[in-house]
A and B are shown apart, each in its own frame.
Chain A
Amino acid sequence: MNGVAAGKPQRIDTSPHVSDEIRHTTCYMCACRCGINVHIRDGKIRYIEGNRDHPVNRGVLCAKGSAGIMQQESPAKLRKPLLRTGERGEGKFREIEWEEALALATRWLAEVRNNDPKKLAFFTGRDQSQSLTGWWAQQFGTPNFAAHGGFCSVNMAAAGIYTFGGAFWEFGASDWERTEMFMIFGVAEDHDSNPIKLGLSRLKARGKKIVAVNPVRTGYNAIADEWVGITPGTDGLFILSIIHVLLKAGKIDLDYLLRYTNAAWLVCDEPEANDHGLFLRDAEGNALIADRTTGKVVSRKEKGVRPALQGRHVTPTGRTGVPVFELLARKYDDPRYSPEDTQGQTGIPAAQTRRLAMEIAQAAFEREVVIDQPWTDMNGERHEKMVGRPVSFHAMRGISAHSNGFQTARALHLLQILIGSIDAPGGFRFKPPYPRPVSAQPKPHGRKACAGEPLPGPHLGFPEGPEDLLLEADGVTPVRIDKAFSWDAPLSAHGLMHMVISNAHARDPYGIDVLFMYMANMAWNSSMNTTAVMKMLTDKDDSGQYVIPKFIYSDAYASETVAFADLVLPDTTYLERHDAISLLDRPISEPDAICDAIRWPVLEPDRDVRGFQSVLLDLGARLKLPAMVKEDGSPRYKYYADYIIRHERRPGIGPLAGWRGENGEKSGRGDANPGQLQAYISNGGFFREHVPPEAAFFKHANLHWQDFAIKTGLQDKHHENVFQLYLEPLRKFQLAAEGKAEPQPPHTHRQRIIDCFDPLPAWYPPFEGQMANEEQYPLHAITQRPAAMYHSWGSHNAWLRQIHGHNAMHVPACVCDELGLGDGDWADVISPHGRIRVQVKRMEAVNPKTLWSWNAIGKRSGAWTLDANAPEARKGFLLNHLISELLPEQSDGLRWSNSDPITGQAAWFDLKVRIEKSATQGEETLPQFSAQQNPVPTRKGDVAYGREWEK
C-alpha cells in the first residue's frame, strides 16, 4: 500500500524551499566559461548548477564548477591591499588603504612610463580580460605584455591560425552530431572540459568510434574505443605516418585541396635563388599556378584553370616552380614516415597505424555526410549541397607543450585538410569569429615604444617573415623582455610568460623596473624550475636592491606568489565581479552561433577588495593614459562595467556584441546601450546569435558566412582564407638563416632555424630528449590535468582538496618490476636539472616509458592558508622542479630556452628522467621549502555549509 495514500505521515519534506533567487553568471573555476545558475538563499549561495540554456555547457557542470561555494568560502581570500614589510617570499605584509596602494602603484608606473616604458613588464596569467589588459598595456606604451598562452598551448593555436585560420577549443570543435570517427590527442582534461564531455557522450550515444592518443589511459582516454599509448613527443611522427599511408593509398580529397588550399601554388625551385622555396608570384603578388592541360603558368586568381598538382613548371618570366602538392607528396612518401619505420620511436605498432589510417579513410570517403543546404562560395559558385568528410580531431597541450609542438600541430592540421574535413559536415567546425587567417590578424607591435606614448597597435600578432620581428636596430636584440618575436621565438603569438622573470633577472636583453602580474602563480606551479624563479625574485644586486626592483601583483587568493610581491592588489572572486567574455578576446561561440557572456556581482564582497579590471582603469586614469581620460583629464570610465558598456574598439564594436544600439535592438554592431548589462542578466548572462544555415559550413570560403560576419561586426571586410599546406613564412626564416634575406639571425641560431622551420610539417625529436643522455634519462615524465582541480586554484577549496590532497608518481609496471618499486614506496626522480622525491603508484595502462602525475597538486608549505603540514605540501609534489626554462649547456656554452624554436611554447612535456628507489624511505616529498606566512588569517576546524537551512 502506498505509504502516503495510507495516511502515513511523510517523514521528509519532499518539496522544500530551494532558493530565493537565481542569478545567472559565468563560471571561472577553470577556463571553460560555462553558464551557471547561482541559487541565492538568505543572501548566501545555496548552490550552483549549470545553466541549461547556455551554449557552452547546456546545463551540465563539472566538479570544479559545483565547488564554487567553497571557493567563495575560502579563508585564502585576500582582504585588503598589502604592502610588503618583510623580505620577499616571507609573506610579511601590512594592510594599507586602497588610496595608498593606488598612489604608490601610480608613482612606480608613472616613473617608468615617463622614462622608459619597456621597464614595465605586465603579464596577466589566466586572465579572461585580455582585450582590456592588452589595450591598457598598449596605452601605457610598454612592449612587454602577454598572458599565459606561451606556457600553455600557443603551438596549437598558432599552428592552426597559420595553417587554416582556426584551431581547437575557442577556435573550433568537432561536429559532434555528424562525425563518424573522432581522434583526441594529448588531452586528459581540457579547457573545453564540459563541451568535450558532452561531445563524447553524443558520440557514444551515436555509436561512433573514439580513438585516444595519449601516453596515459585515464579520463577521456579511458572511455575511448581505442587507445594509442604513444611515447611523448612523437605524435607528429605518428600523424605523418598516417599521412604517408593515406597518400600512398590515394585517400585524400583532391577537390577540397584544389578549392581551399595552396596545394597547386608553385614554389620556386631554383636552389641558388634568393627566393628558392618561396611562392612564385605575379606582379600583383598573386601566387602562380600551372594549368595541367595547357602547361601555362597563370595567377591563381585566373578563372577556368585546371591546376596542376605536380611537375616542374616555368613561368612566362622564366622562373621555375613545383606545386606545393608535389613537394608534399614526395616528402611524406619517404619510407622514413612509413609506420614500420616510425614504430620504434612512437611505440605504436605499424599494423595499428595502418589500420587507423584505413579507418580514417573509410569514415571520410565511404561515409560522407551530405546536408541538403545550398550555399555560395567566395568565387560566387553555388553549391547545392554541403558534403562533408566525417572524421574529426581534437588536440591540446599533450602535443603542444613540446619543442616540436608547432610542427606537430601543423601535421595534425595538415591531416585534417588532406581528408577535406576542416569546416565540412562531420569534421572540425570553426567557432565564430573564426576562421581568421593570418592575413586578417594583426602583426606584433612594440618596436616604437616611446616614453609617454601608446604603442601603435596590439602587442601580440602573427609575423609573416623576419621583417615583422620585434628587434632593435641591430636586427638581433629583442625588443621584448620575454624575447617574443625575436630570433629565439619568431612566431610567439602569445608571448613567453615563462621567460619574463628569468630574462629580467639576467637583465637579458635588459633589466626592468616594475614587474606587474595578475593571476599568475609564477613562484610555484606556473614556472618551469620553481626553485630558481623564487631565487630570482628574491635576489639582490650589489647595491642591495632586488634585481627585479618592484613587483606589483594582483590575485584574489593568498597564493605562493603573493608572498613575493611588494604591493598586492586584492582582486574579487569570480562571483563578485564584472567581466566580459568578449568576442574581442577569447570567445565562447559555438559553431552554429556567435556567443559572448558576462560575469556580474551575484554576491557583494565582504572585504575591502576591488575587481582588478576596475583597478586597472583607475590606474590608467591616474597615469593619464590617453584612452582612459577625458579631455579634462578626468577618468573616462568609472569602473569595468562602465567600460564594458561604453568602450568602442572600432566604431559600433564594443566588448559585448549583444543588445547594442540605444535600445538594445542591434547585435554585433551598434551604439553603446546603457542597459546592455541588464539585458545580459535578463537573458541568463549570455548573448547568442545563430549563424544562418547557409553560412554554417565551409566558413573559410563561404560568401554567406563572410557577409554575416561583416554584418555582425566580427570583421569589416571579406577575408580570403587559403589553407597553407606549405607555410611560406617559415621558409622566409630559413632563407634569412641561409643568409639569403635580411634581417639575418645571429650565427648561433642559423642551423636551428634551418632544421626546424620546415615549411611543410615535419618531425624532429624534442630538444631535451636529444640533449639528455638516453641511458641516464631513459624515461619521460609528464603531468595530466585532473578533472577536479584547476592548477593551484582549487587547493584552498575545502571540497576539491579532499579529492586531490596529494599526488603520487604513476610508474609503468615494467619499470616497477625492474627496479623493485611498489605502491607507496618512495623514489627519487632525477632529470638533468634536478631531483624530486615522490611516492610511487604502479600502473599498467600507461606508455611503458612514461611516468606521470596529476598537475599542480603539490603546494608550498603554508601557502593558500593551508596548514603548514597539509598533505599538499608534505606528500604532494610538482614536476616543475625537474624542468628548466633553459636546456642543458651546449659545447659552445650557449643555453637554449626550453621552448619550441618557432613559437617559444614552453616545452615542459619534453622532460626526460630516471627513477631510483630512495635510499631512505621517508615521510615527505622533496624538495620542501620553509613554510611561508599567510597575509590573511588561517581557519582551523570544521566546515558545515548550510547549517542554517537544516530542518
Chain B
Amino acid sequence: MTSLPARVEKKLGLVIDLDICVGCHACVVICKEWNTGSVGAPLADVDAYGEEPSGAWLNRIHTFEISPPNAPAQIVHFPKSCLHCDDAPCVTVCPTGASYKRSEDGIVLVDESMCIGCGLCAWACPYGAREMDPVEKVMKKCTLCVDRIYNENLQEIDRVPACVRTCPANARHFGDFSDPQSPVSRMVADRGGFDLMPEMATRPVNKYLPPRAKTCTGQGGEQIPVTAGFLGWLDRALDRLG
C-alpha cells in the first residue's frame, strides 16, 4: 500500500555535520560498494570504461561555495542521500505499491520486484534522492542500510549504515529521531540542525548541522605585547629558569 503509515514506531535517520565533512567521498563509495552486492539489483554503471561513464549511486557529495557579505568565500561539502521523509511524496505517487515507508522504523524503501520503473517517485522527490538503475531499470534509493542495521550476521557495533561506519571525519551519525533524548536528537537540538527545503512540506527525518562560524581571514584582534629589548628580556627570563 503506498499510503504513508499513520504513525511510525521509530524515526531512523542520519545527521550530517556540514562543519566536519571534508568532501572525501568515502561515504559515497562505500554506499555503492555495500549496496551493489546487497539485496536487490546491483548498482550498475553503464559505459564504465567508455566515453560517458554513468551509474546509479545512492549518496552523492556536492560542493558549494558560499560568499558571505563581509568575509571571504568558503566551501561547504554537502553529502546528500534519501532523507526518509515523514511525508514522503515519493511513496504516495507510486502507482504499484513498490515504494513504501515502513511503520516500524520509518525507512522508505522500494520493493524492486514491484517497481515498473516509471520514474514518478524520482520526480516527486525534491532532493534527487532516487536514481533509476541504468541496467535493471528499477528505482534505487538509500535503504538506510536496512540490511545492516538489523543484520544478525554482523557484529552489533557494525549494525549501522555503511556510510556512518566508514566516515573518516565522523560527519555522519545514525539514530532514532523519535526519541528526543537520543544522541542524534540532542545533536540536532544543540547545534541547530535543519531540514532541507522545509517549504516542500516533506518533513525530512535526516537533519543537517550547519558549519560553525569561521574566523575571518584578515581579522585582527588582541595582539601580543612586544618585549622591549629582547635580549635584555632573555637574561631575565633565563634567570627565572635558574
Contact = CB atoms under 8 A, between A and B. Distances in A.
Indicate yes or no for A touching B, C-beta below 8 A: yes
A18 B74 CA distance: 41
Nearest to A69: B33
B154 A13 contact: no
B154 A223 contact: no
A15 B146 CA distance: 8
B170 A205 contact: yes
Nearest to A64: B29
B195 interface: no
Contacts of B21: 223
Interface string A240-257: 000001111111001100
A367 B53 CA distance: 53
Contact of B42 (A16, A217, A950): A950
B23 A798 contact: no
A940 B238 contact: no
A306 interface: yes
Assign chain B's interface to a size class: 35 or more
B166 A49 contact: yes
B150 interface: yes
Contacts of B22: 197, 200, 219-220, 222-223, 787
B198 interface: no
Given A2-B103, A69-B33, A796-B49, A49 B67 contact: no
B220 interface: yes
Nearest to A309: B234
Interface string A215-253: 001111111111111000000000000000111111100
B109 to A, nearest CB: 6
A193 B169 CA distance: 10
Contact of A62 (B24, B42, B47): B24
Interface stretch (A752-760, A862-870, A884-892): A862-870
Nearest to B23: A219
Nearest to B227: A250
B231 A310 contact: yes
Interface string B123-149: 000000000001110000001001101
Nearest to B60: A803
B20 A223 contact: yes
A46 B162 CA distance: 13
Contact of A225 (B76, B157, B212): B212
Interface string B147-160: 10111111001000
Given A11-B100, A869-B51, A355 B238 contact: no
A787 B25 contact: yes
Given A63-B24, A218-B63, A943-B45, A228 B234 contact: no
Interface string A47-66: 11110100001011111111
Interface string A19-37: 0000000000000000000
B24 A197 contact: yes
A310 B166 CA distance: 54
B42 A945 contact: yes
Contacts, number: 314
A949 B36 CA distance: 9
B72 interface: yes
Contacts of B224: 245-246, 248-249, 251, 354, 357-358, 361
B49 A939 contact: yes
Among B28, B30, B37, B75, max chain A CB count under 10 A is at B37
B235 interface: yes
B220 A249 contact: no
B147 A14 contact: yes
Nearest to B67: A844
A940 B151 contact: no
A349 B74 CA distance: 18
A14 to B, nearest CB: 4
Contacts of B103: 1-3
Chain B contact residues, majority secondary structure: loop
A824 to B, nearest CB: 16
A821 to B, nearest CB: 16
B104 to A, nearest CB: 5
B221 to A, nearest CB: 4
Interface residues of A, number: 112
B180 interface: no
Interface in B200-238: 211-212, 214-215, 217-227, 230-231, 233-235, 237-238
A61 B31 CA distance: 12
A189 interface: yes
Given A354-B224, A787-B23, A799 B49 contact: no
A60 B20 CA distance: 15
Contacts of B111: 11-12
Contacts of A802: 45, 53-55, 57
A50 B65 contact: no
Nearest to A874: B51
Contacts of A938: 49
A222 B76 contact: yes
Given A218-B63, A354-B224, A798-B48, A66 B37 contact: no
A14 B151 contact: yes
Among B25, B42, B49, B73, max chain A CB count under 10 A is at B49
Contact of A189 (B24, B33, B212): B24
A765 interface: no
Contacts of A951: 39-40
B181 interface: no
Contact of B214 (A65, A227, A229): A227
B138 to A, nearest CB: 11
B58 interface: no
Contacts of B165: 49-50, 59-60
Given A18-B154, A47-B37, A845 B74 contact: yes
Interface in B1-55: 5, 9, 19-26, 28-30, 32-34, 36-55
Contacts of B80: none
B171 interface: yes
A252 to B, nearest CB: 9
B104 A352 contact: no
B167 interface: yes
A67 B146 CA distance: 22
Given A13-B39, A49-B165, A803 B19 contact: no
Contact of B168 (A60, A217, A803): A60
B227 A218 contact: no
Nearest to A202: B170
A803 B43 CA distance: 15
Given A226-B215, A945-B36, A61 B168 contact: yes
Nearest to A216: B75
15 contacts: A12-B143, A15-B147, A18-B151, A62-B26, A66-B33, A197-B168, A201-B169, A227-B217, A249-B226, A254-B241, A255-B241, A787-B22, A944-B43, A950-B40, A950-B42
Given A226-B215, A247-B230, 5 more contacts: A14-B150, A16-B153, A52-B157, A325-B234, A942-B46
Interface of B: 5, 9, 19-26, 28-30, 32-34, 36-55, 57, 63, 65, 67, 72-77, 100, 102-104, 109, 111, 134-136, 143, 146-147, 149-154, 157, 162, 165-171, 211-212, 214-215, 217-227, 230-231, 233-235, 237-238, 241-242
Chain A to chain B: the 7 pairs with minimum beta-carbon distance, closest first? A351-B220, A946-B37, A844-B73, A197-B168, A787-B24, A63-B25, A226-B215
